[in-house]
Structure 1
C-alpha cells in the first residue's frame, strides 16, 4: 500500500500538471497583467483581451453569469476571444455528461433489468435537468 501511494504521488503531476497560466485569461479576463500576456494569442486577440479587461459593463456581466455564459455573451463584441474560450471550456461539461450517461446506463442494465432492449426511454429522464410531466405521460397526453 505504501509503495502504491508513493507511486501515485510520483505519477500524479504527470496527469495533473501545475497550471502554467496560459489559459488564465479564460477563467478571469479582468486580472490580466499587460507584461505577461498569454503567448497563445495573436496580436489582435491580445488587443481585444486588453479592451475586454477594461470594460466595466462586461466585468459586471462576468460577476453575474457563469463562465460559459459570460464567454457566449461576449461573442458579439469579441468573437475571436469568445470562440477560443468556448473551445477550451467545451470538453469539461461534455465529458461530465458522458460520465453521467454511462453511469446511468450501467444502473439501468443491471442483471435484474437486462431484458430491456430499448434503454432510451429510461435513459433520457435520468440525464436531463428537465423534470418530466409523468402524470401527463401516463395519461397519454404527451
Structure 2
C-alpha cells in the first residue's frame, strides 16, 4: 500500500504500487498491491485535519473521523483526491472493530464507545523509523501494546 513518499500518484486514493517493484514477493499469492486507502486508516488525512483544526490529540482526530463517518473529511478541499460522483470511498459505512492511522507522531490509543454497545479500538501508530517501536494488537481482545526496539532486547511498553 503506497504512502505519502512512495512512487505513486499524490491524489487519493493512491494507486497500488506496481508488482514489478517487488520481483520476489509479487510471485506469491499472498502479496496484494492495494490502493491507499484500502479497508483501513491512512495517515495523511490526520496530518491534514491537524493542520486545519485546533484538535490537539491525534487519537481525538481519529475518533472524530469515526464519528463523522469520513476517512477524508478535508478531501478535496485541502487534501487532493480523485472526484467521485456516485460512491465516495472515504465514507465509513460499516463500523470497524479497529480504526488506525500510521505514521503518527507518537503512539496513542483509546476505546471508542458507540451506540448499541459498539466498541472500536482507536490506534495512532508511530513511524517505525522515528520511534523504533511497533504495535502488537490482540485481535480477540483488542488489547494493544507498544514494543520498543531501542535496546538489543525488545521491550514491552505498558
Rg larger in structure: 1
Q: Which has the higher strand share?
A: 2
Shared fold, TM over 0.5: no
- Bigger relative contact order (CA 8 A; separation at least 6): 2
TM-score with structure 1 setting the length: 0.25
Scaled by the length of structure 2, the TM-score of the pair is 0.23
Larger helix proportion, structure 1 or 2?
Answer: 1
